[in-house]
Structure 1
Amino acid sequence: MTEDTSWVGPAMQQRVPWVKAVGITFGDVTARRVVAHLPDDPQLHNHVGGPHAAMIFGLGETASGAVGLAAFGSVMDRATPLVVSSEIAYHRLARGPLTAVAELTRPAEEVLAELAGGQRPEFTVTVGISDTDARETTRMVVRWTLRPNR
C-alpha cells in the first residue's frame, strides 16, 4: 500500500511563502523521491542570463524539504525538520526552467526508529538539478535533522 503524498506540494506552497512566490511546482512526490520545477523568469536571472544561484539553491533545498515532509509528515506533531548542512556544486551554467530531483538516501523507517528511541536523527537528501536541455547543471547534498518538539 502506497501512502498518499499528494498533499505535499500544496502544503509546501502554503507553508513556505517563498515557494509560491518564485513559482516552484511539484511533479512526482513520494516518501523517497520528489521532482520539483522552477519556471524560467527573467526577474530571477543572474548577470549572465540564467537562473540566479540563489534560485537554484532554493529549488534544491525546497525539493529536499518536500522529500522530508513526504517521508516524515506523520511525525510533525512530535518533531520539526531542520537543515543541518548543505553542499552544492554548480557544474555548468543553467538556462531556462529547472527541474530538481531529490532522493532520500536512507530508509525512512531507520530515521523514525531513531526518533522513537529518543534520538535526534539525521538524514541526507541528494538533489540533481537539470536545465531546459535536460543537462544536469548542479548537485546538492542536504543533511536534515528531526528535532524533537518539547
Structure 2
Amino acid sequence: MTTDTSWVGAAMTQTVHWVRTVGITFGETTAQRAVAHLPDAPDLHNHVGGPHAAMIFGLGETASGAVGLAAFGAVMERATPLVVRSDIAYSRLARGPLTAVAELDRPAGEVLAELDAGTRPEFTVSVTITDAEGRETTRMTVVWTLRPNR
C-alpha cells in the first residue's frame, strides 16, 4: 500500500461537488490525520453572522472523509466507505474561517484486517474544529464503515 497521500485533497475537491461549492481546501492529509479549511463567506453564514451549523458539520464530515480516503484509498476497488453515524457538539459561536482536524482513532491496519477477514469493519474519526484564533468551536465524531463491494 502506498504512503503518498498528496492526491487526497485534489481528489476530494474534484469528486465531491459540495467541497468545491463551499470552497473547502485541504492542508496536511495523511492516513492518520487530515486538515480541512472552510473560508469565511457571507453566503455560508447563519442568522448570527457565523458559518451555518450545516457548513460546520460539512467541514468536519469532509475532513473525516479525507483521512478515511487517505487511510483506505488503496482498497476502494473492493470496499466503499460509508458514514454510519456522527455526533457533533457546538461549544462556542464560530466566526470567520474555520479549520477542522480529523484523526483516525485506531490503526488502519486493524480495520483492513477485519475487511480481509470478511467482515464489514467500522472505524471512528475524531474531529476538532477551531476558528482563526485557534479557539475550539466544535467537536465531532464520525463513524465510518468499509462496505465490501459485491
Given the two structures, how large is their TM-score scaled by the length of structure 1? 0.98
In structure 2, what is the equivalent of residue 68 of structure 1?
68
Question: What do residues 56-109 of structure 1 show as CA deviations (whole Å, max 9, x unaligned)?
Answer: 000000000000000000000000000000000000100100000000000000
In structure 1, what is the equivalent of residue 90 of structure 2?
90
SS at match of 1:88: strand
Q: Distance in 2 between matches of 1:134 and 1:97?
A: 10
Residue 46 of structure 1 and its aligned partner are, at CA, apart by: 0.2
Q: Distance in 2 between matches of 1:78 and 1:23?
A: 30
Question: What do residues 108-147 of structure 1 show as CA deviations (whole Å, max 9, x unaligned)?
Answer: 0000000000000000000000011110000000000000
**Structure 1: 4+ residue segments shifted above 4 A:** none
In structure 2, what is the equivalent of residue 42 of structure 1?
42
In structure 2, what is the equivalent of residue 125 of structure 1?
125
Is residue 5 from structure 1 mapped to residue 5 from structure 2 by the alignment?
yes
Q: Distance in 1 between matches of 2:138 and 2:93?
A: 9
Structure 1 stretches of 5 or more lacking a match? Answer: none
RMSD: 1.1
SS at match of 1:126: strand
Q: Distance in 2 between matches of 1:67 and 1:114?
A: 18
Aligned residues: 150
Q: Distance in 2 between matches of 1:17 and 1:50?
A: 22
In structure 1, what is the equivalent of residue 142 of structure 2?
142
Residue 54 of structure 1 and its aligned partner are, at CA, apart by: 0.2
In structure 2, what is the equivalent of residue 111 of structure 1?
111
Name the % identity: 79
Residue 6 of structure 1 and its aligned partner are, at CA, apart by: 0.5
